[in-house]
């Protein structure tokens, strides 16, 4: 599918932009450096890297009981591996974004992928729980730039009116991961070993690294990288970049509210899926890891449908409301989150808890899977427009904006996940899911606060917002 019908400028090669190239004077020229076909190929490569974190996490969850048995521990202990990987993804996305803003997108990918490969092989050969946790950290850290830097790449090459659609297609591609990763991970765990899956991750990502090394260009806007600015100003070229720098963007209430709201919405996914072997599995007598992994499919299919749908809707809303207002109001894009944030996410989470608690047999399982689908659909009806919004308002620091949002969200999530199984053990699945649903409604309220008062809130603390 072609995102842009605009004619390309003369510079249509996919070579890395020279570091001495001056700033492009016309605002649209910077988006015409690549032809539409080159743009599609460029987005495909970060999308492939964006798949990786979902395979790192999704292939692990159905294997938790088997890993616990193999390493002589409990499921609660091994589930901490999920928390550690989410925490590593938080730290890694912050580091990747800070360095991508200074050095560019390409060097970050070519540094992270080798760490991912080594970490995957380390997990495959881990013999103790501490070894497993250390290698899981490295594995997730290496995979972490896939989404935040990838969203920055989309912002680099697509203009405002196309960005939501492009972002939706980017997220739709990477969200193939939640659909198939648990299925593949469960299949490998049941019919081979969880270790084989981890070794395969290392092998496959070796080929991804080679592809990125050969084909991926630098997409940062000419003159926008920190290293270029330092050279033009005659300053020192810094080798160390503060990885916590993107978190300074959270001074803006707009970015902070969107990050917290995103956590409340996305957390429902973890409440449903992390304990699945001990909720859906035990309630409906499913012990086969492959079948446990298959239960993730409805969520993944909902994700895949929700992301492009939300992207197109949000682009239309931006255009319609800009014509209506006579000016661009970036928060209008967030109106596309309405059905997901208010209806699909909280109600699907609430109903899953009640169904698991009170409806036995095939009927209960089928209704749960339907709720899984609507949860996946709803989550991306929220997160896709929210990601495009952050890129809109922080165009020159888009990767850092995504990292501050994703990194902060992942940091909170890494601790919250560790409480899911204990909460279910103590209070039951219905109470735990109800609490998660209420939190997601709080997130909805925060999003609509940003829509209503976004202009004033941006004025309270300007962290370099885009003016168009």
Name which residue leads in pLDDT, 405 or 333. 333
Structure tokens at 26: 């016309």
Structure tokens at 178: 């939640």
φ, ψ of residue 452 in degrees (nearest 5): -75, -35
The answer on pLDDT for 228 being more than 90 is: no
- The rounded percent of the chain whose pLDDT value lies above 90 is 28
Distance CA 198, CA 343 (A): 37
Distance CA 85, CA 90 (A): 9
Structure tokens at 45: 């490569």
Q: Is residue 438 part of a domain?
A: yes
pLDDT at 254: 92
Give the chain's length. 468
pLDDT at 419: 85
The answer on pLDDT for 15 being more than 50 is: no
pLDDT at 244: 76
Handedness of CA 187, 191, 194, 199 (dihedral sign): negative
Rounded to two decimals, what is the model's pTM? 0.70
pLDDT at 435: 95
Provide the 10 A C-beta neighbour count for residue 357.
16
Q: Is residue 167 part of a domain?
A: yes
| Distance from the Cα of residue 87 to its chain's centroid | 13
pLDDT at 235: 58
The answer on pLDDT for 25 being more than 70 is: no
pLDDT at 233: 66
pLDDT at 98: 78
- What phi-psi label fits residue 75: left (phi over 0), alpha (psi between -120 and 50 degrees) or beta? alpha
Of 35-49, 143-157, 237-251, which gets the smallest average pLDDT?
Answer: 237-251
Distance CA 61, CA 78 (A): 9
Q: 89: number of CA atoms within 13 Å, CB side?
A: 30
Distance CA 269, CA 54 (A): 13
Cβ burial of 207 (10 Å; 0-12, 13-18, 19+) is exposed
The answer on pLDDT for 52 being more than 70 is: yes
- What phi-psi label fits residue 392: left (phi over 0), alpha (psi between -120 and 50 degrees) or beta? alpha
Distance CA 89, CA 258 (A): 19
The answer on pLDDT for 23 being more than 50 is: no
Residues 112-125 pLDDT 10s: 899 999 999 999 99
> Position of tokens 């409480």?
419
At 51, which helix (H) or strand (E)? Answer: helix 36-58
Distance CA 382, CA 310 (A): 8
Residues 67-104 pLDDT 10s: 888 888 887 788 777 778 878 887 888 888 778 877 88
Q: Is residue 405 part of a domain?
A: yes
Name which residue leads in pLDDT, 321 or 31. 321
Structure tokens at 310: 């939300």
pLDDT at 373: 95
Alpha helices in 218-288 (DSSP H): 226-232, 253-273, 280-283
Average pLDDT value for residue range 37-61: 83
pLDDT at 468: 64
Domains in the chain: how many in total? 1
Q: Is residue 49 part of a domain?
A: yes
pLDDT at 91: 83
Q: Is residue 421 part of a domain?
A: yes
Name which residue leads in pLDDT, 425 or 232. 425
> Position of tokens 């001074």?
251
pLDDT at 366: 94
Q: Is residue 152 part of a domain?
A: yes
The answer on pLDDT for 10 being more than 70 is: no
Structure tokens at 320: 């319609």
User: Which residues, 6+ apart, have CB-to-CB distance to 307 below 8 Å?
Assistant: 168, 169, 170, 171, 172, 175, 380, 384
How confident is the prediction for the chain on average, in pLDDT? 82
What CATH number is given to the structural domain containing 38? 1.20.1250.20
Distance CA 141, CA 111 (A): 11
Distance CA 296, CA 234 (A): 53
- The DSSP code for 236 is P
Report which listed range, 191-205, 273-287, 341-355, is most confident.
Answer: 341-355
3-class DSSP state of 354: helix
pLDDT at 464: 75
pLDDT at 97: 77
pLDDT at 413: 81
Q: Is residue 15 part of a domain?
A: no
Average pLDDT value for residue range 436-459: 94
Q: Is residue 435 part of a domain?
A: yes
User: Which residues, 6+ apart, have CB-to-CB distance to 14 below 8 Å?
Assistant: 34, 38, 41, 42, 215, 217
Of 32-36, 62-66, 171-175, which gets the smallest average pLDDT?
Answer: 171-175
Distance CA 402, CA 253 (A): 15
Average pLDDT value for residue range 10-25: 40
The answer on pLDDT for 436 being more than 90 is: yes
| Distance from the Cα of residue 248 to its chain's centroid | 20
Residues spanned by the domain of 192: 34-215+243-460
Residues 277-294 pLDDT 10s: 888 988 898 888 788 888
């Amino acid at each position: 599918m072609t995102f842009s019908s605009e004619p390309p400028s003369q510079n249509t090669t996919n070579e890395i932009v020279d570091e001495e190239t001056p700033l492009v004077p016309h605002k649209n020229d910077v988006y015409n450096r690549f032809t539409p076909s080159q743009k599609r190929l460029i987005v495909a490569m970060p999308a492939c890297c964006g798949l990786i974190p979902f395979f790192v996490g999704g292939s692990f969850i159905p294997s938790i009981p088997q890993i616990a048995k193999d390493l002589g521990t409990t499921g609660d202990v091994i589930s901490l591996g999920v928390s550690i990987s989410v925490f590593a993804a938080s730290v890694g996305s912050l580091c990747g974004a800070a360095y991508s803003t200074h050095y560019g997108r390409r060097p970050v990918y070519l540094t992270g992928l080798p760490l991912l490969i080594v970490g995957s092989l380390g997990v495959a050969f881990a013999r103790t729980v501490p070894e497993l946790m250390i290698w899981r950290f490295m594995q997730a850290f290496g995979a972490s730039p896939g989404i935040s830097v990838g969203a920055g790449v989309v912002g680099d090459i697509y203009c405002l009116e196309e960005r939501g659609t492009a972002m939706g297609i980017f997220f739709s591609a990477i969200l193939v991961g939640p659909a198939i990763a648990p299925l593949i991970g469960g299949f490998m765990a049941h019919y081979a070993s969880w270790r084989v899956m981890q070794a395969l991750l290392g092998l496959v990502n070796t080929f991804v690294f080679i592809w990125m090394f050969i084909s991926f260009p630098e997409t940062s806007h000419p003159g926008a990288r920190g290293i270029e600015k330092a050279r033009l100003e005659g300053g020192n070229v810094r080798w160390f970049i503060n990885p916590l720098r993107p978190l300074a963007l959270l001074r803006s209430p707009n970015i902070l509210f969107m990050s917290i709201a995103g956590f409340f919405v996305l957390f429902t996914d973890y409440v449903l899926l992390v304990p699945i072997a001990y909720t859906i599995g035990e309630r409906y007598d499913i012990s086969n890891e492959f079948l446990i992994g298959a239960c993730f499919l409805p969520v993944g299919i909902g994700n895949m449908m929700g992301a492009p749908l939300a992207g197109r809707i949000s682009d239309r809303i931006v255009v319609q409301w800009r014509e209506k207002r006579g000016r661009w109001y970036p928060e209008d894009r967030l109106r596309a989150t309405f059905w997901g944030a208010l209806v699909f996410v909280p109600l699907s989470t609430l109903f899953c808890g009640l169904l698991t608690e009170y409806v036995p047999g095939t009927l209960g399982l089928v209704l749960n899977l339907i709720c899984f689908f609507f949860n996946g659909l709803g989550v991306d009806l929220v997160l896709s427009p929210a990601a495009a919004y952050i890129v809109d308002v922080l165009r020159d620091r888009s990767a850092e904006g995504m990292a501050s949002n994703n990194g902060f969200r992942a940091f909170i999530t890494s601790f919250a996940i560790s409480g899911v199984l204990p909460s279910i053990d103590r209070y039951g699945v219905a109470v735990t899911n109800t609490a998660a649903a209420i939190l997601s409604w709080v997130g909805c309220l925060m999003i609509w606060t940003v829509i209503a008062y976004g202009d004033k809130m941006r004025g309270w603390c300007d962290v370099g917002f885009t003016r168009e």
